[in-house]
Amino acid sequence: MSPEEAQAYCAQRCDQAALERFAAFLEMLASENERQNLVSTASLADAWTRHLADSLQLLDHVPRETSPWLDLGTGAGFPGLVVALARPDLEVVLVESRKRRVEWLEHVCRHFGLSKCRVVGARLETIDTLPAAVISARAFAPLEKLLRLSARFSTPDTTWLLPKGRSAAQELQEQSQAIQAMFHVEQSATNPEAAIIIGHGRPPES
C-alpha cells in the first residue's frame, strides 16, 4: 500500500476533519520523534501506511458505536490514539507505562480536544478493572502473556483486535484448543507479511 493508497484507505473510513487531524498529528509525531524515539525514523516516510492505515483497519472489525475501547501498550499512539483521532465520539482508554510517552499521549489528546480519550499512565497489572467492548494491542506482549494480563478486562461480548507480524498464526497455534476456538487470524490490509489475531468473548482460563 503506497502512501497515496493509504490516504485513500483512511478517507474511506473517516471524515475530512479526521484526515486533517491525522496530517497535523503526523507533523507532531515527526517533531516529537526528534526528542524521544517514538517510532523508527524510516517509518515516518511511510507513516500513512505503517501507522495510520495500519491502525485504522481495526475499525472494520467492530460495529461503529463500540466502546469503551481499551488499547494496551499504546506507545506513540498506535492503534488506540489513531482510533480516537478518527472517532472522537468513542470512549478510548490508552494504557502506557512509560512516563515520557504518557506525557506525549496526553499532549496530543489536549491539542485535539479528545475529551473522551483517557490516558492511564501505569502498568497494566496495577490499573483498576474496567469492562472493555474492544481490547487492542500492537507489539505489547506475546499472545499468552497478553491474554493472561488482560483477560480481566474482557466480557462475553468483548472484541479482541491484536495486530501481529509474521508470528500471528504460530502464536495462536501454541495456545490451548479453547483459545484457538475463540480466536482466528486475518491478513493485514496494509502489510502482506502481517496479520491480526481477532477474537470475541472472555478467555476461558480467566
Residue 54 lies inside a defined structural domain of this protein: no
Residue 90 lies inside a defined structural domain of this protein: yes
Residue 193 lies inside a defined structural domain of this protein: yes
Which helix (H) or strand (E) segment holds residue 80: the answer is: helix 80-86
Which residues constitute the domain of residue 92? Answer: 62-200
pLDDT at 192 over 80: yes
Residue 47 lies inside a defined structural domain of this protein: no
Residue 165 lies inside a defined structural domain of this protein: yes
Confidence of residue 8 (pLDDT cuts 50, 70, 90): very high
Residues 68 and 92: their CA atoms lie apart, in Å, by: 6
Q: Would you state the pLDDT for residue 166?
A: 87
Q: Nearest-CA neighbor of 134 among 55, 199, 82, 57?
A: 199
Residue 78 lies inside a defined structural domain of this protein: yes
Q: What is the mean pLDDT of the chain?
A: 94
Task: For residues 46-59, give the mean pLDDT.
Answer: 95
Bridge partners of 74, per DSSP, are none
Residues 193 and 140: their CA atoms lie apart, in Å, by: 18
CATH code where residue 196 lies = 3.40.50.150
Residue 38 lies inside a defined structural domain of this protein: no
Q: Would you state the pLDDT for residue 152?
A: 96
pLDDT at 206 over 70: no
Residue 31 lies inside a defined structural domain of this protein: no
Q: Would you state the pLDDT for residue 88?
A: 97
Domain count along the chain: 1
> Rounded to an integer, what is the distance from CA 26 to the centroid of its chain?
16
